[in-house]
Structure 1
């Protein structure tokens, strides 16, 4: 039977994650030292108080008690003072570690391969970057420090008590070690299942709530709001039960600690009584021997919670390591020919799960001056196609080249020289409008920024904005509408010097007239190669090529399941020719109905 508090996987994960905290183990000795002083003052207070009460009962001259009275006052003040300083120091170190870990975590994520990051769920990322990181901060304050303080104080207390009466010191040492090891091992083992369930519940709740809040419009449109609320209620019930179970199992560790305290007092009473009758221990010393264990076990009372926090920290370390593990983006792989600006796909297929392609047999050619529109039903794989074309998702089959090189073999900075992707959920930063545009081009001037905003029909909005280009956008872009957000993102894409633009729903959340006008303006740009994914088709008449992606009906008749069939090109040609496609004509009829 192994008495290790953590599994081998958890120990290895903590070992690998610890450097990301940016904290040396040596720095922990300072809060341990202060914690030992605070607990030592508490034990000293109990011992001196016991001596004072017992000695005072003998009615000696008051001068004999002066030092003890002063010591009681000094130890009482010292206990609170050292505890306060210890909390300041330990939490400063822990919070510093949390900040460092979170920053290093984001840096690690930014260096991972694009498909690894794109495959992460927002709720999963949120849970591991917040709750799991905080749990590793608890490793310092609630795990390492209490355990080390308990050990150090136990040794020092028993050493000091040995000068008074060594049999009592041995009994106290044995019971303290029993309490330390017993409560740690029992609490860790009994808490493991409950803590694991709690961690999984927290991540599931974060995932569901992020779906509900971040994708609120889509959730309501699909009628999934009640279903998600039901899932949240179910998961919260399971999570609550896990928390209750963890509390019950923590009580087992507290029972071991109380048992150790009871054995210590009983042992000291018996051993001290023998010492008094044999003349080796005075009556006053007997009081000290019996009452000192009451304070000595103050440090071990924290260990059941420390064991639970240790198990949680181990699980969090494993989850964070799983998050950042994976191949990183290479620094430089293949020389890029900037004079070759074509994006060429031939019989391309891509998949999030190997062997299960989202689409296949897709071919296209995008170069400066050419305008391509891709249309298809929702969920068919258009966004996945954009990620693959942008080199953020490796092609499962076929060939793809950007500037004569597979974009998957280019670094982010190299790809950005030729191509810019603006996904539907691109981020709006909590800074000024101007700085949000400069994300795509650091050399952008205010004059050019204003021209771009007016080009995307935000001129009147800019004129009415309180600070013009310096207007601050809030976190999550809550102070602008969905249509304004889309147009700012479009202006950012146009600010990029890249000759090729991949745009996902650039006219979403706009009224039909504005949406059509913006699409026509995009297609009028003669120096840019533009590939647009759009649900709105009435403004695609200026596109050089319209590509319709859908599930092939022949495949459906054989497979029987629409989800199991990869999408492919079911039509390509001019807009006029696309009018004969059933999907295009049906969508156009709906658009005309809603105008």
Structure 2
């Protein structure tokens, strides 16, 4: 199995056209007598669609409700165990106050029970807390990581199934950042929520209950300080949310820049652009540092504020206790127990205060991840894929913008055994025409059909099963040659793979490899030359049992002799319709039909 986890999502984004057309379907052999045709069609190229990422900013409570219903609620068993262990850990910590109160009373009474009761109670609480804390951290961390895994899987499934026009509008680096940096922020939020929220809340509540039981006057005095600190914490949390959103967006832009420059190292070096690239990257990293430091600066305010709050509370307790002691209304054992309970609740309060910053960053990241989850998926349809290779376009027009036509009433027809070449210079819409044929974009007007099957927006995934596609940018995945080719047909035998390799003039160099078709070609197939990768891509398309073979400049990396041999093999495919896009006039003599594209007049 190809290790898809090791493949960059940026590569997957740029190669989505190849991904969405990899499902196989059976073919029928149809032989037809062919005649050479040569027509001129007007086209006009236009920039790709610019579609904003869906998913408006939502309120915090809406995101939290969605997180609960879609990601957390289904893991109720882990939640129950985590809640039990968190409560046990919190109660053990609060139990220290009761232990101090009980032992102090024994000391005041000079009771001999102190000799055995002290180690029994102290070590009992210590062991109780240590064991519950150990298992709580394991269970809650598993809960958080499982939720992140499921969310990441949902994101990827929605991404690859989204409409192509939406995917094309996204920056690969930004998408990659959502799957990595944003998921890391969510993971940190969930782990801290799982480990701290319930445990510290219970510890805070239990400690306050013990304080009320020991001395309700002192407890109420401490509670009256809460209205002073809550508004301050709320303002800090809102500021953290704003900065965290800006930081994550900037990380996405930086990731996109790194993906472009690292992947284009050859270009950077050939133009002597190392210094400029380094300066720009340093600027991006510095901006990221400034944004992160702003978030840290805001989060750093929380601990000191809570520390001051704790100091004020402790001072107030001593003032009131001292005033009461002077009037003879104070009990030393209750006072010490109260102080221990206050000291136990103080770390819990600081932890919950620090948790606020992590929650705000996590929620900002979660909003960005839900934008991926909310991408509109394509529909596949319930009918069987077309088995006919009779492809026809009837008066197909397309424009990215009103009044700027790319294709204008284009019509063509090709049948199995035909070798059709779509010819034209760069920028006249050849790839756009292929996108329409593959169902990656929808024609503005006109009809595209395969036999009796008419292309429609509600069954695009089934439509693509009738096509095998080879792109200009060869896309292979880390894994063996056999694994890469079986993307076209998971049930293909080794014999079928070798036959496809022979048709693509790739069998000889594969046989020369130490492990043959079981050779690992590395990420993106980087262990092979450009021509070798292209031949494997052609073999993969030939292995797919699809009636129509679509090639976009698919022989550009081959030497002249190999190219002629591959084209001869393609022309011999009597049971398939072959469409080849090229800008090279010298290949037209191989064609049974030539479609020449030129720029139409703008309206």
Structure 1 length normalisation: TM-score? 0.81
Aligned length: 547
1:531 is aligned, of 576, 579, 601, to: 579
Judge conservation of contact 2:469–2:541 (CA < 8 Å) in 1.
yes
Report the equivalent of 1:581: none
Mean Cα displacement is larger for which, 240-249 or 298-307?
Answer: 298-307
User: How many Å apart are 1:216 and its aligned residue?
Assistant: 4.9
Cα-to-partner distance string for 1:34-58 (whole Å, 9 max, x where unaligned): 23433443444467468868986x7
Query: What is the deviation of 1:128?
Result: 1.7
Q: Deviations over 1:170-189 (max 9, x none)?
A: 2344446765x456523311
Maintained 8 Å contact 2:96/2:340: no
In the TM superposition, what is the alpha-carbon distance from 1:311 to its structure 2 partner?
1.9
Query: 128, 139, 142: which is aligned to 2:178?
Result: 128
> Shift in Å at residue 206 of structure 1?
1.7
CA distance in 1, matches of 2:599, 2:270: 23
What corresponds to 1:372 in structure 2?
420
Cα deviation, residue 266, structure 1: 1.6
For residues 270 and 436 of structure 2, the distance between their equivalents in structure 1, rounded to whole angstroms, comes to: 27
User: Is 1:483–2:531 an aligned residue pair?
Assistant: yes
Structure 1 residues 117, 78: CA separation in 2 closer, same or farther (over 3 Å shift)? same
Structure 1 equivalent of residue 88 of structure 2? 37
Contact 2:106–2:114 (CA under 8 A) maintained in structure 1: no
Residue 230 of structure 1: how far off its partner (Å): 4.5
**1:17–1:321 Cα contact (<8 Å) kept:** no
Residue of structure 2 equivalent to 1:509:
557
Determine the structure 1 residue equivalent to 2:220.
170
Equivalents in 1 of 2:320, 2:403: separation in Å? 74
Aligned to 2:20: none
1:391 and 1:407 in contact (8 A); partners too: yes
Q: Does 1:464 align with 2:515?
A: no
Give structure 1 stretches of 5+ with no counterpart.
1-5, 556-564, 567-595
1:150 pairs with 2:200: yes
Report how far residue 156 of structure 1 moved: 1.2
Q: CA offset at residue 423 of structure 1?
A: 2.7
Give per-residue Cα distances to partners, 1:111-141, cap 9 Å, x unaligned. 4333333443322321222222333333422
> How many Å apart are 1:282 and its aligned residue?
1.5
The offset of 1:237, in angstroms, is 1.7
Taking a change above 3 Å as real, the CA distance of residues 12 and 46 of structure 1, as seen in their structure-2 partners, is same
Q: Distance in 2 between matches of 1:7 and 1:439?
A: 38
RMSD of aligned Cα (Å): 3.5
CA gap of 1:77–1:425, structure 2 versus 1, over 3 A, is: farther
Q: Does 1:284 align with 2:284?
A: no
Cα deviation for residue 332 of structure 1 reads 2.2
Deviations 1:50-101 (A, max 9, x none): 8868986x79466425423443333344443332222101110011111111
Match of 1:98 among 148, 162, 171: 148
CA contact (8 A) 2:396 2:444 kept: no
* Relative contact order higher in (CA < 8 Å, ≥ 6 apart): 2
Match of 2:252?
203
Matched, 1:107 2:157: yes
Q: Distance in 2 between matches of 1:471 and 1:164?
A: 73
CA–CA distance in structure 1, aligned partners of residues 72 and 536 of structure 2 = 38
Q: Would you say 1:294 and 2:340 are equivalent positions?
A: no
1:541-585: CA deviation from partner (whole Å, max 9, x where unpaired)? 312344454556xx6xxxxxxxxx79xxxxxxxxxxxxxxxxxxx
Cα distance in 2 between the residues matched to 1:420 and 1:537: 24
Task: Write the deviation string for residues 265-324 of structure 1: whole angstroms up to 9, x where unpaired.
Answer: 122112222343344432233233234322211112223442222222222232222223
Cα separation, 2, equivalents of 1:70 and 1:32:
27
Counterpart-to-counterpart distance in 2, 1:524 and 1:221: 41
Q: Equivalents in 2 of 1:224, 1:323: separation in Å?
A: 34
8 A Cα contact 2:395 2:445, kept in partner: no
Structure 2's unaligned 5+ residue stretches are 1-55
Alignment partners' CA distance in 2, 1:219 and 1:371: 39
Indicate the SS of the match to 1:533: strand
Query: Is 1:266 matched up with 2:304?
Result: no
Relative to structure 1, the CA distance from residue 307 to residue 498 in structure 2 (aligned partners, 3 Å threshold; closer, same or farther) is same
Identify the match of residue 67 of structure 1 among 107, 117, 121.
Answer: 117
SS at match of 1:457: coil
CA contact (8 A) 1:349 1:357 kept: yes
Residues 247 and 482 (structure 1), Cα distance of their counterparts in 2 relative to 1, 3 Å cut = same
Structure 2 residue 302 is matched with structure 1 residue 253: yes
CA distance in 1, matches of 2:264, 2:282: 19
Distance of 2:402 and 2:346 partners within structure 1? 57
Relative to structure 1, is the Cα distance of residues 534 and 163 closer, same or farther in structure 2, using a 3 angstrom cutoff? same
Structure 2 CA distance for partners of 1:272 and 1:366, relative to 1, 3 Å:
farther
Post-superposition offset of 1:345: 4.9
| Distance of 2:217 and 2:75 partners within structure 1 | 35
Q: Equivalents in 1 of 2:60, 2:463: separation in Å?
A: 38
CA contact (8 A) 2:388 2:547 kept: no
Deviations along 1:203-222, whole A, 9 cap, x unmatched? 11221222234455567678
Structure 1 residues 337 and 250, CA gap change in structure 2 (3 angstroms): closer
Calculate the TM-score normalised by the size of structure 2. 0.80
1:217-232 alignment, distance < 5 Å:
229-232=278-281
How far apart are 1:407 and its partner, in Å?
Answer: 2.4
SS of the residue aligned with 1:503?
A: strand
Change (3 A) 1:15 1:421: farther
3-state SS of paired residue (2:484): helix
Q: Structure 2 vs 1, CA of residues 47 and 177 (structure 1 numbering), >3 Å: closer, same or farther? A: farther
Q: Secondary structure at the match of 2:334?
A: helix
Q: 1:94 to 1:424 in 2, by over 3 A?
A: farther
Query: How far 1:510 moved relative to its partner?
Result: 3.1
Aligned to 2:134: 84
1:292 counterpart SS class? helix
Which residue, out of 502, 510, 513, partners 1:454? 502
CA distance in 2, matches of 1:446, 1:543: 32
Distance 2:447 2:275 in 1: 43
Q: Of 399, 403, 410, which aligns to 2:451?
A: 403
Shift of 1:426: 5.8
Match of 2:390 in 1: 341
Contact 1:429–1:436 (CA<8 Å) still a contact in 2? Answer: yes
Aligned counterparts of 1:47 and 1:223: Cα–Cα separation in 2: 72
Give CA-to-partner distance per residue, 1:356-378, whole Å, 9 cap, x none.
66555544333322223334555
Q: Contact conserved, 1:184 with 1:303, CA < 8 A, in 2? A: no
Partner SS state of residue 159, structure 1: helix
Match of 1:571 in 2: none
Is 1:522 the equivalent of 2:570? Answer: yes
